[in-house]
Amino acid sequence: MPLNGSCISFPDNPSHCDAVVVARKVSGSLSLIGAIFMVFVIWLFKRYVAFSQRLTLYLSISSLLHSIGFLMGSRIDDGPFCDFQGWYITYFHWQVMLLVGCITFNLFMNVVRLTTTAKFEWVYVVICAAVPLVVSLLPFIDNVYGPSGSWCWIVEDTKWRIGIWYGPLFTFIIILIAVYGFIIFTLLRKASTWEGTYDPNTHRQHQLMKEDIKPLRFYPFVYLAVSVFSLINRIQNAISPDYHVFALVLLATMTSPLQGALNAIAFGIDKEILFKLRPSEILVAFKSKLAPGSTVQEYPQPDRDTDQLEIYVTTEA
């Protein structure tokens, strides 16, 4: 019996269904591990003080919960549990997308308007919690949650799939590309104005902008990477509902759950994070967490970049 109980995508070749289920679980597991890693590091090194850091934390938690949806069961049989998985995946599809949108909007305001949107943090939280809930409940109106290829989602109903997810996703991707193109253009233009005679105020403004942008700049690109094959696969499904391309289904299944894993890579390649992941730094951070009478002080180190800080733990007398 195939791992995928109904095997609706490849009824004549159940081994294809088994491969898709295995790919889903492997990608979901990698994403879960990556998201847990991010949340742990953010907690351990207290990288949630700045607004840009908290945006990363929100995205990490949402990606963690999102990955769980792809690990729910192997058999894709219609029923209440399948409906729940469909609702769950839809909810966190939307939440991750909106959080990426919030990050992109904040980057736009940082770079183009030279301002922060920290005062709207509560608005971000409300939107990213309420809008996905409303949208994810709509398919219950026509009872269209059910088996959908390699997991439970919206059944083969093109109108509902486009209306609930792929229409908004396609629009979001176009806007994301346009906004990011404008951000890059603005950064290049500003960089040319920063060249020449050294000005402390201009240099400081440059450094502050780098600190706001640096933690967030890769996550929208990650979102584009994990969305593209899923979008192409569903377009093919809409054109030929009775014919599924195994390679395309496999690629979509492998990439769609990878948000947490790729976010972790983008998070981990930051040189400051890499420095903090040294055993000595981890030990100091654990001591600061576990010692009730300790305080954490940060001192600039002249032999490293100005945006990196050494953490020392001092025990109160």
Specify whether 308 is located in the same domain as 212.
Answer: no
CA 130, CA 134: separation in Å to the nearest integer? 6
Render pLDDT for 209-219 as a digit per residue (tens, 0 to 9): 555 566 567 78
pTM over 0.85: no
The per-residue DSSP string of 84-118 comes to HHHHHHHHHHHHHHHHHHHHHHHHHHHHTS----G
Per-residue model confidence (pLDDT) at position 301:
44
Residue 195, pLDDT > 60, answer no
With a pLDDT cut of 70, the percent of the chain lying above it is 77
Residue 168 corresponds to which tokens in the numbers above? 């908004």
* Beta-strand runs (E) in the chain: 145-148, 151-154, 294-300, 309-315
The predicted model gives 155-168 an average pLDDT of 89
In a domain, 6, yes or no: no
Residue-range definition of the domain harbouring residue 283:
279-317
Residue 194, pLDDT > 70, answer no
Mean pLDDT (the chain) is: 80
Specify whether 288 is located in the same domain as 173.
Answer: no
282 pLDDT band, cuts 50/70/90, is: confident
Specify whether 40 is located in the same domain as 164.
Answer: yes
Helix axes 259-268, 219-239, angle to 10 degrees: 160
Residue 35, pLDDT > 80, answer yes
Render pLDDT for 223-258 as a digit per residue (tens, 0 to 9): 888 888 888 887 887 788 777 788 888 898 889 888
Render pLDDT for 289-316 as a digit per residue (tens, 0 to 9): 777 555 444 444 444 443 333 333 333 4
Phi, psi at residue 10, to the nearest 5°?
-135, 70
Residue 2, pLDDT > 50, answer no
Specify whether 185 is located in the same domain as 298.
Answer: no
In a domain, 2, yes or no: no
- CATH number of 138's domain: 1.20.1070.10
